[in-house]
Copies of this chain bind each other. A is one copy, B any other.
Amino acid sequence: MKAFVTGGAGFIGSTLVDRLLESGHEVVVFDNFSTGNIAFLQDALKSPRFRLERGDLLDPGVLANAMRGADLVFHFAAHADVRFGLSHPRRDLEQNTIATWNVLEAMRTNGVRRIAFSSTGSVYGEAESFPTPENTAYPIQTSLYGASKQAAEGFLTAYCEGFGLQSCIFRFVSILGERYTHGHVVDFYRQLMEHPAYLDVLGNGEQRKSYLYVNDCVNAVMMATEKATDPVNIFNLGTNEYCQVKESIQWICEHLGLKPELRYSGGDRGWVGDNPFIFLDCSRIRDLGWKPQFTIREGVIRTVDFLRSQE
């Protein structure tokens, strides 16, 4: 199979690329390196089955050319920043919605029929039921990130219906692990390296969040794209647990041997649009035979170890 991976130089994308190459596939990475990192492709670049295409998803001609001959598109490029969406509201629209639409059009141009898409559990907004299943009550979007991903999902499934594409859509919780570049673990880690005596925390620390270790995530993506056969297959991806921000802080501090003063900003959420409780029902992907190998705690600690190894 020839896989075309957008965002293939990113955290999750590059981990997927390594796995695809290990499995014997041909891989083309398409990345604009806005947040991607060439170092994440150091193994991939040694493979004769690998090709790197530098380009932007907002440039439809370049994209369509690069995609020629692909069998399966892994669309993993995104502006993956829930927190700062309000500072640059057009970015989510462009990088997540319009970019996805461009990917769909490039697939149509090239006759590529299969797509796997990295969506997000943020599409549930502030969900009403926990753990939240894929067919929960029609959500109201509360973040530009969630809105832009929901929009991308919608166009994608309309293309499946209208143009005969086949898709797997993954609604991820936050992903952790090696190559992790942003999110609470890196924020806390950097703070603690700078000032080990105290830690500033957004909200009251009681927000309940879900995380998944990146290799478990990639396992699920590989399994689902092999096994799922409906025109549209939507999967939540997460573990069977969630944790409070303050628990994660405790794991990080213990692992680093630090006892900082915790300075909470207060309130039940970290920022406007922050979702105080994320916990997804992942029985659909489990029914395919997938099971995560790592707990949230193990994912957090591996992430800290990765950050430490980068010093």
- Chain A interface residues toward B at CB < 8 A: 85-86, 89-90, 93, 97-98, 101, 104-105, 108, 124-125, 134-144, 146-148, 150-151, 153-155, 157-159, 161-163, 232, 234, 272-273
Contact flag A272-B155 (CB < 8 Å), given A140-B232, A232-B140, A234-B140: no
Query: Are A158 and B138 touching (Cβ within 8 A)?
Result: no
Cβ B161 vs Cβ A273 within 8 A:
yes
Known: A86-B163, A98-B98. A93 touches B147 (CB 8 A): no
On whether the beta carbons of B97 and A162 are closer than 8 Å, the reply is no
Instruction: Given A85-B162, A89-B105, A162-B272, verify A97-B151 contact (CB < 8 Å).
Output: yes
* Chain B residue with the shortest CB-CB distance to A155: B147
Contact B144 A162 (CB under 8 A): yes
- CA separation between A98 and B98, bound complex, in Å? 9
- Shortest distance in angstroms between A97's beta carbon and chain B's nearest beta carbon? 6
Contact between A162 and B273, CB atoms less than 8 A apart: yes
Residue of B nearest to A134 (CB): B138
B108, B137, B141, B234: the one within 8 Å of A136 (CB): B137
A101 touches B105 (CB 8 A): no
Q: Which residue of B lies closest to A164 (CB)?
A: B272
Given contacts A93-B97, A141-B155, 20 further A-B pairs with CB under 8 A are A85-B158, A89-B159, A93-B155, A125-B157, A134-B138, A135-B137, A136-B138, A138-B138, A140-B157, A142-B161, A143-B162, A144-B162, A146-B154, A147-B151, A147-B154, A147-B155, A148-B155, A150-B151, A151-B151, A161-B273
Closest to A143 in B: B158
Q: What are 27 pairs between A and B in contact, CB < 8 Å?
A: A85-B158, A89-B108, A89-B162, A90-B101, A93-B155, A97-B151, A125-B157, A136-B137, A136-B138, A138-B138, A140-B234, A141-B154, A141-B157, A141-B158, A142-B158, A144-B158, A144-B162, A146-B154, A147-B155, A147-B158, A148-B154, A148-B155, A150-B150, A150-B154, A151-B155, A158-B273, A162-B272
